Structure 1
Amino acid sequence: MIELVVYGAEVLCPSCVNLPSSKETYEWLEAAIGRKYPNQPFQITYVDIYQPPNDEKKQAFAERVIEEDMFYPVVVLEDEVVGEGNPKLKTIYAAMERHGYKTSE
């Protein structure tokens, strides 16, 4: 089972004014991926970059998002950045399929 981590913040990044919030993107991805890969378990986690959980790896990446001025939300799949700012489902699906996920279509 893979883990997707969506790093974001309550406040929209300055370049993302007309885009959905990080939390909305997280919820949208969870629903879209669940429909695309039914009965194939995956974990999706939301991490607030300003209040990351007590997990060293997630804290370090949250700091990187801030320090490198990355466009958030940043979507990470198994340590690979697969989306930034306005993540594309096609890119995320391709990354999941490289990890063995099969489409239901």
Structure 2
Amino acid sequence: MKKEAEIRVYGAEQICASCVNLPSSKETYEWLKAAVSRKFPGQPFTIRYIDIFNPPEESEAKAFSERVVEEDLFYPVVTMDGEIIGEGNPKLKDVYKKMEEHGYRPE
């Protein structure tokens, strides 16, 4: 494993206007956390939920939150290493692929 992966889920309590009938950002965060934990058991990773309308003071999280709002990205937006790996309705396959690129091995 290269380094411990950090997945970030940027979203808001209000569901994205273009994402009606999809899970909320927080539901997506919980779903991803559970799915990745099952796919890569015993392999440490971090997953963070970041509210785009109330981001932490950390410059990277704050700047990306502003980008989501300004560029009207479909949220939740899932990132790893600053790269968008899913938005609106993220695909597990894409998240798993990125994890494997970090050296994680599915079990």
**Category of TM-score, reference length = shorter chain:** over 0.9
TM-score in terms of structure 1 length: 0.98
Q: What does 1:55-66 align with in structure 2 at a 5 Å threshold?
A: 55-66=58-69
SS in 1 for 2:98: helix
* C-alpha distance in 2 between matches for 1:17 and 1:4: 24
Identity fraction in percent: 62
Residue deviations 1:59-81 (CA, integer Å, cap 9, x gap): 00000000000000000011110
* Mapped partners of 1:78, 1:44: distance in 2: 12
> What stretches of structure 1 move > 3 A for 4+ residues in a row?
none
Match of 1:75 in 2: 78
Q: Distance in 2 between matches of 1:47 and 1:100?
A: 25
Counterpart residue type for residue 96 of structure 1: M
Amino acid of the structure 1 residue aligned with 2:104:
Y
What is the aligned-residue RMSD (CA, Å)? 0.4
List runs of 5+ in structure 1 lacking aligned partners.
Answer: none
Which stretches in structure 2 are left out of the alignment for 5+ residues? none
Partner of 1:30: 33
Number of paired residues? 104
**Aligned twin of 1:43:** 46
Normalised TM-score (structure 2): 0.96
State the match for 1:21 in structure 2: 24
